[in-house]
Amino acid sequence: MLAGRLALLVPAGSPGFRLNLLGGACAAGAAAGLGWMAARLALSPWAGVFAAAAWGLSDTFWWEAGIGDK
């Protein structure tokens, strides 16, 4: 809720647009965090790239990341 309140202070577009930007930024951060954890656990940066790409490009991820506009 606090992050949403901060997103509403950004002077760009409508409130719904600003909250959707926050949702997209959080989704990108989650994919990056997953890639970082996979790289650390597998001791290979390619494992992190693969994990982040596989999850970030999946249909389920995009469906849930874009659900804020509905």
Find the mean pLDDT for residues 38-58: 92
**Cβ(7)–Cβ(21) under 8 Å?**
yes
**pLDDT tier for residue 69 given thresholds of 50, 70 and 90:** low
pTM: 0.77
**pLDDT tens per residue, range 13-22:** 899 888 888 8
Helices (H), 1-70: 2-8, 15-42, 45-56, 59-65
Contact yes or no for 19/4 (Cβ under 8 A): yes
| 69 SS3 class | helix
